[in-house]
Amino acid sequence: MQNHNYTIRWTQIIPNTFMYGSRLHFNHHETIFKNRLMPSGIVIHEWKMMTNYAEEKTIPTLPILERGATYHFSFDYDVEPSTGIYFKIIFKRRNGTIFDTRIIQQREVAMTYPNEAFSYELQMINAAATSVCFRSIKIQHQDENTDSKVLRISDIINENPSLPVLNILFAETQPLSSDAIREFENVIKVEHWQHYDIETLRDKLMHLKNKGTLHFIGYHEQSSAIAYRMATMLNGTAFVTHHLNTVGDVERDQAAPIICYTHEEHDLHAHTVIVQEMLNPSRYLNHIDLDVFNGGRQNGY
């Protein structure tokens, strides 16, 4: 079976690596780049599917992708400030001319490789960053018929063995970036749960009851509803947003403890419904009180 999962790292200096005034350190799992004076809009580093070794003295660092196929890109890095870099994918024709480009400012994105593209390049571009800790770019082939519907329950993310709490996070349909949960400890991410019934989800998560206090987290309408149901069925605490009030089929006759960490006022910065629908709902996770969340203390609803 052909492997369609790729991990891209930054392991070398190439002609298009910005080195003027830069400090660059290659470690085993990450690459550290520092430059406080680098202008914005300049390429920090780039990866290519095709190279001319005679001219560039470098080898290709991107995999060959299938035309017309959809891939999930996941970017793993830390940057100061948090909006200090973005990525740009350049699709090229056989003659080397640019066919199309795409700007990526989020940590995860899905895109379809154009049928007209012969090759592609990926650039990391400065946007007033002072330091970058780059770990990897993961590219995963998406099969719309199977992969997108397989229930995924992750291993423990940001594990803290001394914390007797497991934070079980139900992902909405939009991509959930690692940056959104970077400050959360002992996280277990549940994806594609929308395709399964309540009893199946309960059975899949039942074994976690023996491993500590369970927090079930949602961050919009559907994930808040399932978080409340699982907390009720597995004797946990539900962390939900104010959207739970809009889900009509949620019954509260069984008193699972609830911590509502957002209010309608948190939507006021988005002036129209259209704008709110364009924003990733994972932004609501920023309103969680980390002391309550990671420490296990309960507040009233």
Calculate ∠ Cα 140-145-148, nearest 5°.
50
pLDDT value, residue 126 = 97
pLDDT value, residue 296 = 52
pLDDT value, residue 279 = 64
For the segment 137-152, the average pLDDT, to the nearest whole number, is: 72
Q: What CATH number should be reported for the domain holding residue 98?
A: 2.60.120
Q: Are residues 64 and 194 in the same domain?
A: no
pLDDT value, residue 56 = 66
Residue that terminates a domain, selected from 98, 116, 146: 146
198-236: per-residue pLDDT in tens? 877 888 898 898 888 999 999 988 899 999 999 999 999
> What's the domain count of the chain?
2
pLDDT value, residue 75 = 92
* % the chain with pLDDT above 90: 44
Q: Are residues 179 and 290 in the same domain?
A: yes
Q: Is the pLDDT of residue 30 over 80?
A: yes
Q: Are residues 120 and 167 in the same domain?
A: no
**7 vs 250 pLDDT, higher one:** 7
Q: Are residues 76 and 116 in the same domain?
A: yes
Q: Is the pLDDT of residue 51 over 90?
A: no
Residue that terminates a domain, selected from 146, 165, 197: 146
pLDDT value, residue 287 = 84
Please, which pLDDT band fits residue 262 given cuts at 50, 70 and 90? confident
pLDDT value, residue 222 = 87
pLDDT value, residue 105 = 85
Of 98-112, 230-244, 265-279, the least confident:
265-279
Q: Are residues 126 and 165 in the same domain?
A: no
Q: Are residues 63 and 168 in the same domain?
A: no
pLDDT value, residue 217 = 94
What's the number of CA atoms in the CB half-sphere (13 Å) around residue 206?
A: 7
In a domain, 301, yes or no: no
In a domain, 300, yes or no: no
Cα(51)–Cα(142) distance, rounded to whole angstroms? 26
Of 34-48, 187-201, 226-240, the least confident:
187-201
Choose the most confident range, by mean pLDDT, from 99-108, 144-153, 261-270, 288-297: 99-108
* % the chain with pLDDT above 70: 84
Q: Quickly count: other Cβ atoms within 10 Å of residue 185's Cβ.
A: 19
Q: Are residues 156 and 264 in the same domain?
A: yes
171 closest CA partner among 144, 152, 143, 146: 152
Q: What CATH number should be reported for the domain holding residue 157?
A: 3.40.50
Residue that terminates a domain, selected from 87, 114, 146: 146
Calculate ∠ Cα 179-184-189, nearest 5°.
75
Q: Are residues 103 and 198 in the same domain?
A: no
Q: What is the pTM of this model?
A: 0.52
In a domain, 36, yes or no: yes
For the segment 149-166, the average pLDDT, to the nearest whole number, is: 86
pLDDT value, residue 276 = 45
Of 104-113, 219-228, 241-250, the least confident:
241-250
Query: How confident is the prediction for the chain on average, in pLDDT?
Result: 83
Q: Is the pLDDT of residue 301 over 60?
A: no
Q: Are residues 178 and 269 in the same domain?
A: yes
Q: Are residues 101 and 183 in the same domain?
A: no
Q: Which domain holds residue 41?
A: 5-146
Q: Is the pLDDT of residue 138 over 60?
A: yes
